Amino acid sequence: MNLKRYRVNNIKEALKFIKRDLGPDALIVSTRQVKEGKGAFGMFGKTMLEVTAAPGEKKKNSAVSKVPATKALEAYSGGADTVENALADTFMRPQKNSTLSVTDQTRNMMLPIQKELQGIRLTLGDLTSQTNAFDDHLVGELKHELGEMRHMLHVLASRTGNLSDPDLPENLLLLYQQMKFSGLEEKFARRLVMEAQRNMTEEDLENFAYVKIFLARMLMKIIKITRGLEGLKPSQRIVALLGPTGVGKTTTVAKIAAEQMRKYKRKVALISVDTSQRSSAEQLRSFAKMIKAPFSVVKDKAELNRLISKYEDYDSIIIDTDGCSQRNDAQLFEMREIFDERGRIHNSLVLSATSKDVDMNEVTRKFGCMPIDSIIFTKLDESATYGSLFNHAIRFKKPLSFLTLGQKVPEDLEIASRERLVDLLLNISGT
């Protein structure tokens, strides 16, 4: 059995090397994350993706389209629309129990691994009798693979309640693994590919580009957007940016204000709700002076209301707020007193794309004591994976308004779009 192992940065890079060395029909045997670098046990090394692959049997009459995925996305107008209604329930309804018992499920999951073990044992037997034909390094590699396979069997046996990768056609399985490595939660990725498999023909599943676009369109059904400030109903756009310290609220306020003035030629006023005399209020004051926009600092709701009335002739009012820890209940209560009002002020929760899922969830739940009308994700340029954006969108069903990817004002501000978000997860533009 000709097994090869690759240590790469992502699944796309792995696929490139696997296809080059083993051909387009190669199979992924296993994947895991490993540390590379100096330090005890590699603790301070870079996290890499280790992919083990083997050559597969060539399929007959399996013509794969050479159309780039970006063009296919533009050209494809059907397919995933047939599952639009099903998707509304797919991610939130309880999944039906399998008719197989847990023991049967585990046994079925173990069968492919047992076959691999048998193949490795046979290969090792051949190597023992033909030591002149193979070197010791290859023998060691195969023994290592045998150990890994045994470990996987032990893990499956000890976790009878957990499912391994679903039994999927090759193209769907590759994209399933890619989405998981990009940070999409396993249960969401699983439901997505299972729904896709139910709604695609065998012929469609042979076309990798088509399968990728099909999944992309399904993901686009999940995402809600506001089109920046253009989707807001009031003619006067009043937006407050809320969120924890360090996520980039003040810089994002500056970017939105500059965009409103330069792109849409609107009159903009800036307000800072400052209860702690923080330095960011002075930063925003300097920026307001540079773009010649009025700027004021307020400390309570009464002052904020007076200023909003004062700026009634302005097209947009952008409000910066104190950074607030989601665990500071007293400060959250103060903010709630100011922003617990629906309709007049559009509250945008600002989250960093570099944050862990569990932290994003906690922040959103705690700030949920106030009306949250949209989400802004910042620091996309500092993150290597983007599945957490989808996890959050699926879990909380909040529309996205803006994305930021750098410090430049306003160049590094993007209006959130479904196409851009899906491209971050599936790398459509790089296909």
pLDDT at 133: 44
CA 338, distance to chain mean position in Å, is 32
Lowest mean pLDDT: which of 165-174, 308-317, 332-341? 165-174
- How far apart are alpha carbons 253 and 251 in whole angstroms? 5
Q: Return the SS3 of 320.
A: strand
Mean pLDDT of 296-321: 94
Return contacts of 149-157, CB within 8 angstroms, 24+ apart. Answer: 149/113, 149/116, 149/117, 149/120, 150/117, 152/30, 152/113, 153/110, 153/113, 153/114, 153/117, 156/106, 156/109, 156/110, 156/113, 157/106, 157/110
6 phi-psi bin (left φ>0, alpha ψ -120 to 50, beta other): beta
Beta strands in 282-369 (DSSP E): 295-298, 316-321, 346-352
Contacts of 179 (CB under 8 A, 6+ apart): 189, 192, 215, 387, 425, 426
pLDDT at 125: 57
- How far apart are alpha carbons 205 and 354 in whole angstroms? 34
> In which band, very low, low, confident or very high, does the pLDDT at 142 lie, cut at 50, 70 and 90?
low
- Residue type, position 8, single letter: V
- How far apart are alpha carbons 189 and 274 in whole angstroms? 42
Q: Return the SS3 of 148.
A: helix
> In which band, very low, low, confident or very high, does the pLDDT at 307 lie, cut at 50, 70 and 90?
very high
- How far apart are alpha carbons 254 and 245 in whole angstroms? 16
Residue 244: φ, ψ to 5° = -70, 170
Six token digits for residue 97: 């129990």
Helix (H) or strand (E) holding 120: helix 102-129
pLDDT at 234: 75
Residue 65: φ, ψ to 5° = -65, 140
Instruction: Check whether 402 has a pLDDT greater than 90.
Output: yes
**Which CA distances in Å does 405 have to 124, 251, 263, 427?**
51, 11, 19, 17
CB 256 within 8 A of CB 375: no
From the list 292, 346, 290, the residue with the least C-alpha distance to 317 is 346
Each residue of 97-112: pLDDT tens digit? Answer: 444 444 555 556 566 6
DSSP-H helix ranges across 159-278: 170-181, 186-198, 202-205, 208-222, 249-262
Mean confidence (pLDDT) of the chain: 79
**Domains located in the chain, CATH noted:** 70-97+166-222 (no CATH), 237-426 (3.40.50.300)
331 phi-psi bin (left φ>0, alpha ψ -120 to 50, beta other): alpha
Full-model pTM: 0.66
- DSSP state for residue 151 in the 8-state scheme: H
CB 119 within 8 A of CB 55: no
More confident residue, 46 or 42: 46
- Residue type, position 137, single letter: H
Mean pLDDT of 378-395: 94
Return contacts of 415-419, CB within 8 angstroms, 24+ apart. Answer: 415/227, 415/228, 415/230, 416/225, 416/226, 416/228, 416/377, 417/225, 418/219, 418/220, 418/223, 418/225, 419/73, 419/220
pLDDT at 431: 57
pLDDT at 73: 43
